[in-house]
């Protein structure tokens, strides 16, 4: 064991050197991480949000809404097509993931089945002999719709976040219906949460002037119309509107929206694409002097009366805006609507002050921990303690180097993991040194005692480290955020410490033995 072959020496030195090269950039103040390709040296350890400050938001896309909307549109199509064919039905509605209705005349069933089956190729239609019909989306269609909705949500979230000017946000899909947002430097995410809390579906629809608002409020809404709340009704203003369900133009056709002022009031100006402009032109031409509702997320922002046809495809939304709310609405319209509402499931925000304090505390704890452990090793094992301490320094270098190379995130618990590893790394040396002492005690020569010490301690060292590694792996697979950071540094630390405590100290001991040829081991 004490014959340290040249190639073994080379490998040990090479690993230590690599560790130094990868860890070195962390000593620099400048950050070149962006200019360096993956796995090449030059990167710094990337700090978790709990250390650099920032906001972590876990969002859920309410996918049921997507399916419900799809069923709603099928319901509308059923209504239209059955009426056209003069087929009587009752109880039409969508619930529990299916559109249900009952055909009145049994004679109409076959014909109705034909019509229903033609509505949407992605549905399964069942009609029984009593005329009870149900239409459900095929599993594949539902899955595709959900998946597409999440993808689209991520895109919209990205656009909205980009518009707010947050630098280097991380937006990831997590699981089936979740989006993980990491926003470095954001210490007050209230505005972002507010922006993401709106789907921002904008529609332009006609107000149903034939309907009476009083009737509608009492629950008698005419078919094809809808009772909607006003977005920000002040006292004395109309609180509800009866609006036609038919969408004249939708927000999808908007190409631009900007906050601006009109008569000193903040407003939002918008511009349609060609299709939108054409539709908007037609509608406004046909409905001059009628009120036109601008609806955002099922609330009426305003319902101005059309004074003249608007053919240029541009317009202005006025409402009771403040400068900030006009800004936000313009931003939302530019970024586009979310296919489904988002809910914040989890938030963890750390301000820059706490982050900096945590780094400072982590540094102090690491240095004091290192001094205590290193001092103890020298007191307990003398020269061999010094060897162990040199290995310990290499161990820390290797951990930092590995974290930089893998671009793993260093979190506050991660720092605790490094300090803990400092205490655990020397354990292997304690086991080796104690064994050497025992071997000397039974009368072995220095050479043979040291040889036996390393040999015999090895399995115990592997045993100890493996069990802790198991714990780290399970922690990583089940933990979240900062705790994952702990698991990562612990796991890396276990692996590197096995290398440094066994190989690096052995190299030093061998060199020392060759040079000094001692007759007694100072341990």
Touching other proteins, residues 189-218 (CB under 8 A): 190, 193, 197
Segment contacting other proteins by CB under 8 A, of 70-78, 83-91, 207-215, 372-380: 372-380
- Is 499 a residue that touches other proteins (CB under 8 A)? no
Residue 125: what are its φ and ψ, rounded to 5°?
Answer: -110, 130
Residue 243: strand pairing partners? 207, 226
Is the Cβ–Cβ distance between 191 and 228 less than 8 Å?
A: no
Segment contacting other proteins by CB under 8 A, of 129-137, 259-267, 272-280, 459-467: 459-467
- Is 187 a residue that touches other proteins (CB under 8 A)? yes
Among positions 136, 475, 504, 508, the unique one binding other proteins when judged by CB under 8 A: 475
Least spacing, CB of residue 493 vs other proteins, in Å = 11
- Is 380 a residue that touches other proteins (CB under 8 A)? yes
- Is 3 a residue that touches other proteins (CB under 8 A)? no
Is the Cβ–Cβ distance between 247 and 228 less than 8 Å?
A: no
- Is 184 a residue that touches other proteins (CB under 8 A)? no
80: its two tokens:
């239209």
First to last CA, the chain: 19
- Is 64 a residue that touches other proteins (CB under 8 A)? no
Any idea which residue has 């055909």 for tokens?
103
410: its two tokens:
């260093």
Q: For other proteins, give the closer residue by CB, 103 or 461.
A: 461
Segment contacting other proteins by CB under 8 A, of 17-25, 67-75, 118-126, 376-384: 376-384
Among positions 373, 396, 492, 502, the unique one binding other proteins when judged by CB under 8 A: 373
| Closest by CA position to 462, among listed 504, 497, 423 | 497
- Is 424 a residue that touches other proteins (CB under 8 A)? yes
- Give the E-state strand segments of 96-209 in sequence order: 98-103, 123-127, 132-137, 170-174, 178-184, 202-206
Least spacing, CB of residue 328 vs other proteins, in Å = 15
Least spacing, CB of residue 344 vs other proteins, in Å = 6
Least spacing, CB of residue 180 vs other proteins, in Å = 12
- Is 376 a residue that touches other proteins (CB under 8 A)? yes
Least spacing, CB of residue 347 vs other proteins, in Å = 4
- Inter-CA distances, 510 with 196, 388, 458, 506, Å: 63, 13, 17, 6
Among positions 415, 449, 504, 510, the unique one binding other proteins when judged by CB under 8 A: 415
- Is 230 a residue that touches other proteins (CB under 8 A)? no
Q: For other proteins, give the closer residue by CB, 58 or 142.
A: 58
Among positions 100, 278, 299, 437, the unique one binding other proteins when judged by CB under 8 A: 437
Residue 302: what are its φ and ψ, rounded to 5°?
Answer: -160, 160
- Is 379 a residue that touches other proteins (CB under 8 A)? yes
Among positions 423, 495, 512, 513, the unique one binding other proteins when judged by CB under 8 A: 423
- Is 381 a residue that touches other proteins (CB under 8 A)? yes
Least spacing, CB of residue 6 vs other proteins, in Å = 24
DSSP classification of residue 106: G
- Is 54 a residue that touches other proteins (CB under 8 A)? no
Q: Lay out the sheet containing 254-262: strands in order across.
A: 254-262, 265-272, 314-317
Pairing type for strands 178-184 and 409-410 reads: unpaired
149: its two tokens:
């909705």
Q: For other proteins, give the closer residue by CB, 115 or 192.
A: 192
Segment contacting other proteins by CB under 8 A, of 127-135, 166-174, 303-311, 479-487: 479-487
For residue 368, count CB atoms less than 10 angstroms from its CB and return exposed for 0-12, middle for 13-18, buried for 19 or more: exposed
- Is 443 a residue that touches other proteins (CB under 8 A)? no
Q: For other proteins, give the closer residue by CB, 286 or 463.
A: 463
Among positions 487, 498, 501, 510, the unique one binding other proteins when judged by CB under 8 A: 487
Query: How many residues bind other proteins, per CB under 8 A?
Result: 87
Q: Is 277 helix (H, G, I), strand (E, B) or coil?
A: helix
- Is 427 a residue that touches other proteins (CB under 8 A)? yes
For residue 306, count CB atoms less than 10 angstroms from its CB and return exposed for 0-12, middle for 13-18, buried for 19 or more: middle
Q: For other proteins, give the closer residue by CB, 193 or 290.
A: 193
H or E element that contains 242? strand 240-244
Helices and strands in the chain, H and E counts = 14, 19
Least spacing, CB of residue 476 vs other proteins, in Å = 9
Least spacing, CB of residue 434 vs other proteins, in Å = 5
- Is 105 a residue that touches other proteins (CB under 8 A)? no
Site residues (CB under 8 A) for other proteins, limited to 305-364 = 343-351, 353-354, 357-358, 361-362, 364
Q: Is 88 helix (H, G, I), strand (E, B) or coil?
A: coil
331: its two tokens:
């931003």
Q: For other proteins, give the closer residue by CB, 62 or 208.
A: 62
CB atoms within 10 A of CB 91: 9
H or E element that contains 315? strand 314-317
In angstroms and rounded to an integer, the radius of gyration of the C-alpha atoms of the chain is 35
d(C-alpha 335, C-alpha 53), whole Å: 26
- Is 385 a residue that touches other proteins (CB under 8 A)? yes
Residue 59: strand pairing partners? 179, 344
């Amino acid at each position: 064991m004490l014959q340290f072959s040249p190639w073994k020496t080379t490998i040990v030195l090479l690993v230590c050197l690599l560790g130094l090269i990868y860890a070195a950039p962390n000593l620099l103040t400048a950050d070149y991480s962006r200019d360096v390709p993956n796995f090449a040296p030059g990167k710094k350890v990337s700090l978790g949000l709990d250390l650099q400050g920032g906001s972590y938001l876990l969002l859920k896309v309410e996918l049921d809404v997507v399916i419900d909307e799809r069923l709603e549109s099928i319901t509308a199509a059923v209504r239209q097509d059955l009426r056209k064919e003069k087929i009587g039905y009752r109880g039409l509605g969508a619930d529990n993931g299916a559109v249900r209705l009952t055909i009145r005349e049994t004679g109409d069933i076959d014909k109705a089945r034909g019509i229903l089956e033609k509505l949407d190729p992605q549905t399964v239609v069942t009609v029984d002999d009593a005329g009870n019909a149900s239409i459900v989306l095929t599993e594949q269609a539902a899955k595709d719709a959900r998946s597409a909705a999440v993808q689209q949500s991520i895109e919209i979230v990205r656009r909205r976040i980009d518009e707010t000017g947050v630098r280097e946000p991380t937006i990831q899909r997590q699981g089936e219906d979740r989006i993980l947002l990491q926003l470095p430097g954001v210490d007050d995410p209230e505005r972002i949460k507010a922006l993401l809390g709106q789907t921002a579906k904008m529609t332009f629809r006609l107000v149903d002037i034939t309907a009476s608002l009083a009737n509608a409020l009492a629950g008698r809404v005419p078919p094809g119309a809808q009772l909607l709340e006003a977005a920000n009704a002040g006292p004395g203003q109309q609180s509800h509107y009866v609006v036609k369900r038919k969408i004249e133009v939708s927000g999808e056709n908007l190409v631009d929206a900007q906050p601006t002022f009109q008569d000193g009031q903040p407003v939002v100006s918008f511009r349609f694409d060609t299709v939108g402009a054409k539709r908007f032109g037609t509608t406004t031409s046909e409905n001059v002097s009628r009120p036109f509702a601008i609806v955002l997320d099922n609330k009426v922002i305003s319902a101005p009366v059309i004074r003249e046809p608007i053919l240029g495809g541009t317009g202005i939304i006025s409402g009771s805006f403040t400068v900030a709310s006009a800004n936000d609405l313009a931003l939302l319209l530019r970024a586009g609507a979310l296919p489904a509402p988002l809910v914040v499931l989890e938030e963890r925000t750390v301000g820059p002050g706490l982050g900096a304090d945590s780094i400072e505390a982590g540094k102090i704890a690491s240095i004091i921990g290192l001094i205590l452990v290193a001092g103890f090793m020298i007191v307990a094992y003398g020269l061999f303690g010094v060897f162990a301490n040199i290995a310990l320094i290499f161990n820390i270098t290797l951990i930092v180097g590995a974290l930089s190379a893998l671009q793993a995130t260093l979190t506050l618990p991660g720092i605790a993991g490094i300090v803990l590893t400092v205490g655990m790394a020397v354990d292997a040396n304690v086991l080796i040194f104690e064994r050497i002492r025992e071997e000397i005690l039974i009368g072995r020569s220095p050479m043979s005692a040291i040889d036996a010490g390393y040999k015999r301690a090895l399995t115990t060292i592997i045993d100890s480290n493996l069990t802790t590694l198991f714990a780290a792996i399970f922690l990583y697979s089940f933990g979240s955020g900062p705790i994952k950071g702990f698991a990562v540094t612990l796991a890396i630390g276990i692996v590197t410490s096995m290398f440094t405590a066994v190989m690096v100290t052995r190299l030093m001991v061998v060199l020392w033995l060759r040079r000094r040829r001692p007759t007694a081991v100072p341990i």
